[in-house]
A and B are shown apart, each in its own frame.
Chain A
Amino acid sequence: MRKGPGLSALSRHSAYNSSYSTLSTSISKTQLESLQTSLESFRDILIEFSIKHKKDIKNDPAFRFQFQKMCSALNIDPLIASSSSSSSSSNSRSIGGKDGFWGLLGIDEFEYELAVQLVDISISTRNSNGGLIKIKDLIKRIENLRNGGKSNSNLTNKISEQDIIRSLKLLEPLKSGYKLNIIGGIKYIRTIPNELNTDQSILLNIAITTGGKLNKREIKLQTNWSDDRIELGLNDCVMEQGLGWVDEQSNDIYYGGEIKGDVWIIAATTFEE
C-alpha cells in the first residue's frame, strides 16, 4: 500500500481507524460476554456450593473464613450484600446478583445475630470492665450465651475472631464506637467511643504483663513517671474509664494519693469460671 500524500489518504486513514475500533469493540464485546457468562455460571456454582455447604459455613469458622476470602476475591462483599438484601428482601429473587446472595445463605442472619450478641455482652459487662474486653473473653461469653450459660467445648456454633471483626464493621454505622484495639499483642474490643490516651495505653500494656495488677511502685520502675503522672493515669483508669478496680488492702500503699493501693485492670485479668 502506497502512502499517498493526497487528500484521499486522509479519509482512507480514518476509515482504517474506524474499522479497527469496530473490530476491537466487537472482539471485546464477545470476550466480555463470554466472561460474564463464565462468571455467572461460576456464581451459580458458588451458590450451589454454598447451599450445599450452608451448615459448614455457619458452623465452621475456618471454612467460613476461606469462603469469605473466596467471595471477596470475586468482589462479592458479604456486608454490602447482606445489608442491601435486608432492605429489598422482597425482590431478592435475582440470585446471581448481589441482592439476596448472602441472605439466601442465612449469613446475614448469622452476622446480625452475632452483632446483637456482641452488643449484648458489651453492655452487660461494661460496668465491670469499663468497656474494654478481650476478644477471646467476648467469644467465650457469646458462646456461653448461645449454649444457655453452660460452657461447653464441643459447641457446633463456634465463633472466630474474624467473625467478631466483621460484626464490628456491621456496627460501624451506629457510631457507637465498637472498635478493635490491640494492646500488648492482645486483641481487645473497645465498646465505648471513648479513646484511650497514651498513658492509659501504657498502663494497660503493663497490666497485661502482670495479670491485671498495677502497682504504683512497679509502674514507677517501668516508666519513670512522676508520682502525679502515675496518680493521674490510675485515676483516669478507675474513675474516668472504669477500667480499673482498686484494691485498698494490697498493703502496699505507696505515697498515698487519691487511689489507695493497687489498681487491677479487669480486662487484663483472666477469669475462668
Chain B
Amino acid sequence: MSINQISSTSFTVPSNQEISISTNTNINDKQINQNEFTNSNSNSITTTPLRSIKGKNGFEYPAIWNFPPFFTLQPNTSTLLHQIEIWRKLIIKYSKYQRIFEIIIDSNELEEIFENKKIKRKLLNPSLKRILQEMSKNGEAAPDPPKQDNRYLIYWKKPDEWADLIYNWIIDNGLNSSIMTFYEITDGDLSHTTEFYELPIPILRKALENLVKRGKAQLLEGKGEIGEGVRFL
C-alpha cells in the first residue's frame, strides 16, 4: 500500500453532508506536483467541524476518525499513547459491532475502519501492527498462532468472559455433565441465538481452558471424525 496512490490536491474537512475532495489521478510525477503547488491558493479549506459519521455497515465512527493525523502514528510519545488508546477502544467497539474475531494485517480485505476513504487516509500495516501489539499487552488481543505478528485474535470479550457465558448457557440448558463437541458449542442448533455463535476454535479453546482451570470442564481428545470435545462439570 503506497502513499503515492493516495492523491488529493485539496483537503476538505469532511462533514456529515457534503464531502468534496478534488483528485489528481496521478501525482507520481513531479510535473503534476508542480501544478499542485501553483493551484494551492485556489484550494479553499473548508472548516466545518469534524463530526461523527455512520459507516456503510451502520457503525458510528467518532469525529476523530475524520481527523487526518489520526491515521499517522504520532511522533510525540504522550500524544501517541493517547492516540493508541483511542484506536484500541475503537477497534474493540468495531469488532464487537461487526462480530470480528480475528484481524489479519496483510490481508487483502481491509476492514472499513482502517481506511477512511472520504479523507483518503489509511492506517498503514506497521501502524496497525503496533496498535495490535499494544492491544495484546492489554489482553484485548492475542497473536494466533503465538510468536508471529500478522494474525491476531480480537478479544472484545476476554476468554474468561466467554467462559462464563458458555458455562451459564450450559447450565441453563441442562447440558452439564454431558459431553459436547467444540462444533456443537459454537455452531450447533442450540447455539444459534448465543453471542458465541461461530466463535473461532482458538478463542473457544482458551475459554474452555479457563473453565478447566476453575474445575468446571474437562477437555476430551478427539477420536476419529468426532473432533475435540468437552465435558462440563
Contacts and interface: CB of A to CB of B under 8 A. Distances in A.
Is B one of A's binding partners?
Answer: yes
Interface of A: 126-128, 130, 210-213, 217-218, 221, 238-239, 242, 245-252, 259, 261-264, 266, 269-273
A211 B10 CA distance: 14
B16 to A, nearest CB: 9
Interface in B21-54: 27, 36-37, 40, 45-52
A149 B62 CA distance: 14
Given A251-B27, A261-B72, A245 B63 contact: no
A271 B63 contact: yes
B67 A269 contact: yes
Most buried by B among A218, A239, A251, A263: A251
B82 A128 contact: yes
A193 to B, nearest CB: 16
A38 to B, nearest CB: 53
B68 A249 contact: yes
Contacts of A217: 37, 40
A251 B33 CA distance: 10
Contacts of B82: 127-128
Contact of A251 (B8, B67, B70, B81): B8
A242 B72 contact: no
A242 B50 contact: no
Interface string B89-124: 000000000000000000000000000000011100
A149 to B, nearest CB: 13
B47 A249 contact: no
A238 B74 CA distance: 9
Contacts of A259: 75
A238 B76 contact: yes
A271 to B, nearest CB: 4
Given A242-B78, A261-B72, A270-B47, A249 B3 contact: yes
Given A217-B40, A262-B68, A264-B68, A249 B51 contact: no
B222 interface: no
B11 A213 contact: yes
Given A242-B79, A263-B69, 6 more contacts: A245-B69, A246-B72, A248-B72, A249-B120, A251-B6, A273-B63
A39 B167 CA distance: 75
A251 B70 CA distance: 15
Nearest to A254: B37
Contacts of B150: none
Contacts of B8: 251
B13 interface: yes
A213 B12 CA distance: 11
B75 to A, nearest CB: 6
Contact of A271 (B50, B83, B120): B50
B26 to A, nearest CB: 12
23 contacts: A128-B82, A210-B45, A210-B47, A211-B45, A212-B47, A213-B11, A238-B76, A238-B79, A239-B76, A242-B76, A245-B72, A246-B74, A247-B72, A247-B121, A248-B3, A249-B122, A251-B6, A251-B27, A269-B67, A270-B50, A271-B63, A272-B49, A273-B63
A127 B81 contact: yes
Interface string B112-148: 0000000011100000000000000000000000000
A266 B78 CA distance: 14
Nearest to B13: A211
Contacts of A245: 67, 69-70, 72, 74, 79, 83
A219 B6 CA distance: 23
Contacts of A271: 49-51, 63-64, 67
A212 B121 CA distance: 17
A157 B7 CA distance: 47
A246 B37 CA distance: 20
Contacts of B48: 211
Nearest to B41: A221
A273 B67 CA distance: 12
Contacts of A212: 47
